[in-house]
Structure 1
Amino acid sequence: MIEYVPIIESPCVSICVMDEATGWCIGCGRTLDEIARWGETNQADRDAVTALLPARMEKLGQ
Structure 2
Amino acid sequence: MKVRDRVRSPCVAVCALNDDDICIGCQRSGDEILRWSSMTDDERRQVLKNVAEREEKFQI
- CA–CA separation in structure 1 for the residues paired with 2:25 and 2:57: 12
Equivalent residue number for residue 18 of structure 2: 19
Identity of aligned pairs, percent? 35
CA displacement at 1:60 relative to structure 2: 3.9
CA displacement at 1:55 relative to structure 2: 2.1
Unaligned runs of 5+ in 2: none
* Number of residue pairs the alignment of both structures matches: 57
Rg (Cα) greater in structure: 1
When the two chains are superposed, the root-mean-square deviation of aligned CA atoms in Å is 1.9
Equivalent residue number for residue 32 of structure 1: 30
Q: TM-score, normalised by structure 2?
A: 0.78
Equivalent residue number for residue 6 of structure 1: 3
- Partner SS for 2:54: helix
- Partner SS for 1:47: helix
CA displacement at 1:54 relative to structure 2: 1.8
- CA–CA separation in structure 2 for the residues paired with 1:18 and 1:36: 12
Q: What letter matches 1:6 in structure 2?
A: V
Q: TM-score, normalised by structure 1?
A: 0.76
